[in-house]
Amino acid sequence: MANSKFARYPSLAGRAVLVTGGSSGIGADLVQAFAEQGCRVAFTGRSAASAAQVLRACAGAAHEPVFLPCDMRDVAAVQAAVAAVEARLQGLHVLLNNAADDTRHEFLGLSSEGFDDAMAINLRAHFFAAQAAMPALVRGGGGSLINVGSTSWKNKVAGYAAYATCKSAMTGLTRSLAREFGAQRVRVNTLTPGWVMTAKQLEKWVDEAGEREMDACQCLPGRIQGVDVAQLALFLAADDSAMITAQEFVIDAGWT
């Protein structure tokens, strides 16, 4: 399963990694990329069927990934999942806060319940996953916490104000945690993808108008894939980025 096209990071071999929302989309590519590096990977998700596909894609890895069913909207479930990861993987070195839901909505019609639900998956889950994981990262002598953002708010995309609000908040969460836990050698960065051609995006949102917009706005030709995001995540998790923290890294082919 190893992809010889991309860099290998010896420092990642054997490290314990948790990917939230890893059963589909970008998360699935993150799981596979870290498994290919010899990491001990666990991932959360709500679909056992989707998780099974990820596990099949990781066949042949030095360590078979561990799937933990979890609704990331449930703080207690998030805390339990992180505790289970530390126990099963004998530590935790990397957390990728990836779980998200970009369901579209009209601003004027969004109820308080809808707003709370968007906050629960797109912001609260990240906050409390980081809170639960931080002691383990510190116990391991430092590690890497990567918050996955989005260029949606930078590009002023309409139709999901709650989601955009949450994703803009990744900057504040990252920079605050980087300062608070830097002395314990925990690095915290934001990884901000542009419009990534996941199965969900292709099915629901990418149309002829969207294709034209990408062609017009991206500096680079082509389309962004989950693997492009995963390769930068590997660098931010590895010792190669040992002195990088409190920063944002955008992968959008030059759109913003």
DSSP letters along 76-130, please? HHHHHHHHHHHHHHTS--EEEE---------GGG--HHHHHHHHIIIIIHHHHHH
CATH of 12-194+224-250, one of 3.40.50.12780, 3.40.50.720, 3.30.565.10, 3.30.465.10: 3.40.50.720
Q: What is the pLDDT of residues 27-48, one digit of tens each?
A: 999 999 999 999 999 999 999 9
pLDDT at 4: 73
Q: Once rounded to an integer, what is the mean pLDDT over residues 170-184?
A: 98
Q: Domain residue spans in the chain? A: 12-194+224-250
Q: 9 an active-site residue?
A: no
Q: Once rounded to an integer, what is the mean pLDDT over residues 189-195?
A: 98
Stated pTM of the model: 0.96
In the predicted model, is pLDDT for residue 1 greater than 60?
no
Q: What is the pLDDT of residues 40-90, one digit of tens each?
A: 999 999 999 999 999 999 999 999 999 999 999 999 999 999 999 999 999
Catalytic member of 34, 67, 153, 163: 163
Q: What is the pLDDT of residues 201-242, one digit of tens each?
A: 999 999 999 999 999 999 999 999 999 999 999 999 999 999
In the predicted model, is pLDDT for residue 249 greater than 60?
yes
